[in-house]
A and B are shown apart, each in its own frame.
Chain A
Amino acid sequence: MISALKRAYANFRGFDTERRAVPPMEGPLKPNTALDDAAIALTLPDADNLVATAGGLACSTGAELLTLELRADPTRATPGLAVAGRRTLAGPISAIASDGADALAIGLDGGGITVLGGKHDGRKITQADGTKLTCVTAIAFAGPDTLVVANGSDRAKSADWKRDLMAKGASGSVWRIGLASGTATRIGQGLAFPAGLAISGSDILVAEAWRHRVVAFAGPDAPPRALLEDLPAYPGRILPASGGGFWLSLFAPRNALVEFVLTEDTYRNEMMATIDPAYWIAPALRSGRSFLEPIQGGARKKLNMLKPWSPSWSYGLVARCDSRMHPLGSSHSRADGRVHGVTAIAERDGTLFVAARGSGVIVALKASRLAGGAA
C-alpha cells in the first residue's frame, strides 16, 4: 500500500525511480565523427557478425557466411576488404566465433549452434540443459573444446530484438558448453538480452543490452557484478583488444521517448500489436529511410539540415574500454551520420574493422587511435 502510494506520488511528480533518464554522452563518450570519417573497407548490406579468423576475417549477411581478405590500399592508412568466399548456411546467422585456428562456431537464428572446421566439425548444439538456444547472440571460445554462449531471449529470435526490448524481455541466459562432452553449465539467467560476451581471466563479461550495462560473472550462477552501468546506448558485442582492455560496440542509442513509451503499457502493447516494427517508437539499426517512421521534434530538418545532435532512433558507437570496462574513448556516427547500427567489431593487424549493419558498411579505423592509456 505504502509503496503503491509512493509510486503514485513519484509518477505524479515524474521522479525517475526506474533509472529511465538517459545519461548524456560525455566524458570518454563525447560525440565525434570518427566513424563517419573512417575509410569504408567494404560496402556490404546487412553486414554483421564480423570476426577475425586465422586467415583473415569472416562475417555474415543473412544466411550467407563470407570470408574476407585484407587488401592493402596504398592511398589510405587502413586496408580495405574483399570477399574471398561465400557459403550459404541453413538459416540466418546470428553469431560467429573463431577459436583462432580452423574452427568457427556459428549461431543460427532460431536454430542453435553449428561448428564448422576444427576437430568438432559438424557438431550441432540446439539446447543447453533443457533451454533451447533459439536466440544465440554471442559466442566465445573459452578453450578449444569449450564455448560460452549467450542466448538473448527465451521468447524471441535474435532478429526480433526490438520486440524483446519493447516487451521488456528479461529471459536471456549465458551458458558454458563443453563441445566434447555436450554438458552445459548455466552461468547466468534472467538477463535482459545479453548481446555480447568476452572472457577475461576467470570472469565472463556480458553486455546486458536492455539494462544498459556490462556485468561480470565469476562462475556458474554467481551473482552478476556490474562493471559499466548507465550507458547512453544499448551495448552489444565485446571484443578483447590487442593492446589490452576491450572494444565495446553499442548497436542503438537510448532515447527519452523510448524510455517513456516503455512506461506506457497501453500504448506500447497497442503499438506492438498493430504496427510494423520498422515504424515503432523504438531504437533501430537504421533510420530515416521511410516517411512512415516516427520522428521527434529535434529531428526536424531546419534550413535543410538534419542537426547532428538530433534525437535519433539509430546511431553508430564503438567504445574503447580498459580491462575493468571503464571507457577510455569512443568513435561515433551521429544522427546525420552514415555508419549506424554497429553490431560487430573485429581487430586485425592493428586495424579495427567496424561492421555497421544498419548502414550496410564495414569501416576501418586504426586501432591505436583509441588505444591510448589502455591498461
Chain B
Amino acid sequence: MAASETLTRLRYKYLPEHLLGELLTKRWIDNVVPFFALIVAIIVFGTLIPDFFSASSLADFGRQVAEFGLIVLGLSIVMMSGGIDLSVASIFTLSVLVSLIGTNVEAWPTPLVILVTLALGAVCGAINGYLVGYLRLRAFLTTLVTLIIFRSIYDILFLSMSTAIISGFPDSDLLFFIGEGDVLGIPFSLLVAAIIAIVWHVVLSRMRPGWRLTAVGGARRSAHNAGIKVRRTVFFAYVWSGLLCSIAGFLFAARLGSTGADTGVGLEVSALTAAVLGGNSIGGGRGSVAKAVMGAVLVLLLTNSLVNLGVSGPITSTILGVVLLLAVFIDMRWLKHRNRLLAKVYVSPAYLTLPPAPDTTAPGSPYALNDKLRNVEIIGLGEIEGPEDVILDRDDNLYCGTRLGDIVRFFGPDHKRSEIFAHIGGHPLGMAFDRAGNLLVCIGGMGLYQVAPDKTVTKLTDETNRSWMSVVDDSRLRLADDLDIAPDGRVFFSEATIRYEQEDWATDALESRPSGRMIVYDPKRNYTHTDIPKIIFANGVCMCRDGQSFLFAESWTCSILRYWFDGPKKGKTERVISDLPGYPDNINRASDGNYWMALLGMRTPALDLAMRMPGFRRRMARRVAPDQWLYPNINTGCVVKFNDKGEILESLWDLGGENHPMITSMREHRGWLYLGGVSNNRIGRYRIPGADPNWCGQDDYWGPAT
C-alpha cells in the first residue's frame, strides 16, 4: 500500500467527517452563530471595559438581563407562532407604572401588586391575541396600534401620578428582596427569569403546547389540517407575551422604584433585534428559549458596553439598527442554504479496502457461472412489488412483504391464489416464525413487528438503547433489516444503518461507514439492546445449529461473520468469509445442514477502486446527480450455498438479471428454493436437485407441529 493511501486510510479512520453532516441535522445547530457572536462580544467588551467582570457590575447586568430577557422571550414566543408583538415595550412600561402605583401610591401588599400587574399584562396580551388570533387582523399593524394606545395610557397616567409615585415610599421587605436581593449570590430577579426560561424551554421543546405553537408558526394551514386549534394557539401566544412583559415590568419597578417619561422608549426595537439576533425566525416556526436568551444577552451587552464606552445614544441606536439588519440578512441566507449545505456535506464516504474478488471464471471455482436461476418458475408476477424476504410455513403457504406495507400470503401448494395477510405499513423486510407460529417481521422505517396466525399485528420494539457518543439520535430503529430467533425466544435482528432511510440504502453503500448494528430483543423482559455496534451495513441473520451463535452478513465488506450469544465463546465475533464476489444479503438454512446466502449485487473493479478513494466518492456525491452515481452492480442475481467453515459449495446465477436481478433472499422448502428481491415484481421457485423433499424450515427450527 502506498504511503499516500496509508495516510488516506488513517485520515478517514480517525477524522470523524461524517459528524459535520450529523451536526447540521440538529435543530440546535442554528444557535452556533449567535453563540460564537456572544463569546466574541464578551471577550471584546471584557477587555475594553474595566470592571466588566466585577461582582457588582455582573449583578446589575444580571438584573437587567432578567427584565430584558423576559420581554425578548415573550416576543420570541409570539414570533414562533408566526406573528409579531410590537407592543411588548408598552405593556412593560404600563406594568412598571401600575406596579409603582400599587406599591408607592396605594401601598397594596406586594402579592396583590404582583397579581394586579400580571392581570394587566394578561389583559393587554389578550387584547392583542383577540384581535390577531380570533379577528385575524394583521399582527404587525395591530400591535403597532396597541403599542401607541398602551403607551398613551401610560403617558396620561404618568402625568397625573408621577408626583405621587415619587413622594411615596414602599415599606416592604419582600419588595426590596425582589428588587435587590440575592440567592446564593445570584440576583433574585435573574433566578425568577431563569426558572421561567427553563420552564418555557421544556414546554417549547418537549411538550405538546410548545410543539403546537411551533407548528402553527411553521405552517398555519397544515397545523389547522392536523387538528390544531390555530386561533386559540395564536391568542395564547399573545397572552403569554403580555404576561412575561408584565413580570419584567414588575421586576423593573421593584429594582428602581421609579419611572420616567422615557422608560421603555425604543425597547421594542431592542427586543426585536435580540430575538432575531438569537436566531428566532421572523417568519415563525423556528425559535427557542436559548435563542431568545442569547439574543437578549448579546443586545444588552452591546448597548451597555457602548454606553460605558461613551458612545452617544443615537449612535448606539444606529449600531443596533445595523446589527438588526445584519441579523435579518444572515437569518435569511442561513434558512435558504442550510438544507443545501446539509445535502452537500451529509454524505461522508469512508476508506474501505476489500480483498481481491475471487475469479468466477477460474476452472473449478465454486462461483462457476451458470444460468440456473434464469428459467425458474415464477410466482405472483406483477401482483407484488418488492418481496425482500420470503418464508413458508408448515402448510406450504408462502409469505412475502411488499413495498406497499403489506404482507402477502400465497396459498400452498400451488401459490396461485393470494391474500393480504396483514397490512402494517413501511416496507416489510426480513421474516421469521417463532416457536408459537407467530410471524416476526423487520420493517424498514418502523421496527420489529409480530403478526399472529390470527392476523393480529403487534409492535414488538421500535427503539434500542441510545449510544453515548452518537450525534444523531440512534435509539429509534431506522432500517431494521433481517432477524432470526434463538431457541430461548430472543430475537436477534440487524439494523442496516442509522444514517439513512431504506430508500437510500445505496447511499450508505457509497459511504461504507460502520453505521449498522445488531440488536437483540428479549420478549420475556420486553427489553431491547444493541449487541454489536459499528457494522458496515448489517444485513442477513441466521441461527447456527449449535443454538449458541448466529451468522450475519456485513454487506459492504463482502463478509459473513459469526457471533456467539451463549456458551463458552459468548460475546465473541469471528469472520467466516471475507472475500465474496458480491454483497451478501439474507442468509437462511439449507436442508443439508449448510446455508444459503443471497448476493444482492456484485462487486465491480471500478467501485472497488473507488472504495479506496473516499475523496473521489465524496466529490462524486456533490458533483454528480444521484442517479448517475456509481452503484454496486445489482442487475445480476446470485445465490450461493456455504457451510459453517465458510467454504462456498455451489452458486446459482441469473446473469444479466433477466428474471431475478438483485436477489435479496431465498428460502428452501420441501425441495424448492424460493427467491425474493427487494425491487422485483415476482418470486422465483427453483427445484434444488437432490434436496430433501420433506424439509421445512419451521420444523427445522422448532420441531414438528404438535
Chain A residues with CB under 8 Å of chain B are 14, 255-257, 260, 264, 266-267, 270-271, 274-276, 279-281, 288-289, 291-304, 306, 311
Contacts and interface: CB of A to CB of B under 8 A. Distances in A.
A14 B657 contact: no
A266 B59 CA distance: 61
B609 A274 contact: yes
Interface string B622-659: 11111111111111100000000000000000011101
Nearest to B638: A291
B609 A303 contact: no
Contacts of B659: 304
B624 A293 contact: no
A300 B631 contact: yes
Contacts of B610: 267
Given A14-B623, A275-B606, A295 B633 contact: yes
Given A275-B609, A297-B629, A303 B680 contact: yes
A264 B606 contact: no
Q: What's the interface size class on B, roughly?
A: 35 or more
B287 to A, nearest CB: 31
B662 interface: yes
A16 B622 CA distance: 13
Given A14-B622, A301-B679, A304-B659, A296 B629 contact: yes
Nearest to B660: A304
Given A14-B623, A297-B626, 16 more contacts: A256-B625, A257-B620, A266-B616, A267-B610, A271-B609, A275-B609, A279-B605, A291-B604, A292-B603, A293-B604, A294-B606, A295-B632, A296-B630, A296-B631, A301-B634, A311-B628
Contacts of B602: 291-292
A339 to B, nearest CB: 18
B683 to A, nearest CB: 12
A303 B383 CA distance: 11
Contact of B661 (A271, A292, A301): A301
B607 interface: yes
A296 B622 CA distance: 15
B633 A293 contact: yes
B613 interface: yes
A175 to B, nearest CB: 37
A275 B604 CA distance: 10
A299 B661 CA distance: 12
B604 A280 contact: no
Contacts of A292: 602-605, 633
A275 B636 CA distance: 20
Contacts of B662: 300-301
A276 B609 CA distance: 12
Nearest to A307: B627
A270 B613 CA distance: 10
A266 B661 CA distance: 32
B604 A303 contact: no
Q: What are the 8 closest A-B residue pairs judged by CB atoms, nearest first?
A: A298-B627, A294-B606, A291-B602, A291-B636, A303-B681, A301-B661, A275-B605, A256-B628
Contact of A300 (B622, B655, B679, B681): B679
23 contacts: A256-B625, A260-B620, A274-B609, A275-B605, A275-B606, A279-B604, A280-B606, A281-B606, A288-B656, A291-B655, A294-B630, A295-B632, A296-B627, A296-B630, A296-B631, A297-B629, A300-B631, A300-B679, A301-B657, A303-B679, A303-B680, A304-B680, A304-B682
A264 B636 contact: no
A296 B628 contact: yes
Contact of B506 (A266, A289, A297): A297
A307 to B, nearest CB: 10
For A260, A280, A295, the residue with the greatest tally of chain B CB atoms inside 10 Å of its CB is A295
Contacts of A276: 605
